[in-house]
Structure 1
Amino acid sequence: MMTNEELERKGCTPIEDLIAEDFGEVGTPERDEFERGCEAFIIGERLKAERLKAGMTQEQLAAKIGTKKSYISRIENGHADIQLSTLFKIFQGLGRKISFTIM
């Protein structure tokens, strides 16, 4: 991975600078909202990958855990505020376990 100095020498703007320009500095409300959206996107993408690996459709997964296909779709697209208990239930339905790291 290139350092910020190497990027600047090549005429590139570091990604952190671009994010700060569009969403504010770390710790601002706008940046916090952006970062939450990123986390939701990452969780959704991971769910989709695990669901596909399990060979299940959104409808099959929803039926298995007692929810609606539209809810699975919203999670996979990063548009749902999901409770931890539901997240554990979804991945359990896929035969997977999840864990979190607090940083």
Structure 2
Amino acid sequence: MEAKKFYTLEEIEDKYIGEKGTPKRDAYEEELNSFLIGEAIKQARQSKNLTQEELGNLIGVQRAQISRIENGKNLTFSTIARVFKAMGISAKLEIGSMGKVALW
């Protein structure tokens, strides 16, 4: 019986999407990260029992814009900060020698 070869996710991504540092892989990772941020925003909104329209009212945009944000579109740092602030979510980063930094 022939032994099966198992591949890591990174090996599959390298083969089918491109190796790290290539334009195609960079675009894929950027899109994936945007999707994951949008999904996190959606889950946070739902955990606070807010509709898209209610969140939109809190940050001054239409419901359709919240939908785009949750789908990983039109994401900027300033948009993410506004959404998190409106929902009362703090953001803290650990940045090398600076230690922990609160973004707001």
Percent identity of equivalent pairs: 36
Identify the structure with the greater strand proportion: 2
Is residue 68–residue 74 contact of structure 2 (8 Å, CA) maintained in 1?
Answer: no
User: 1:77–1:67: structure 2 CA closer, same or farther, 3 Å change rule?
Assistant: same
Q: Secondary structure at the match of 1:63?
A: helix
Gapped regions of structure 2 (runs ≥ 5): 97-104
Report deviation, 1:98. Answer: 2.0
* Structure 1 runs of 4+ with >6 Å offset: none
Gapped regions of structure 1 (runs ≥ 5): 1-8
How many residue pairs align between the two structures? 94
Matches within 5 A, 1:38-53: 38-53=32-47
TM-score by length of 1: 0.81
Partners of 1:34 and 1:100 lie apart in 2 by 24
CA RMSD of aligned residues (A): 1.9
Q: Could you tell me which residue of structure 1 aligns to residue 17 of structure 2?
A: 23
Identify the structure with the greater helix proportion: 1
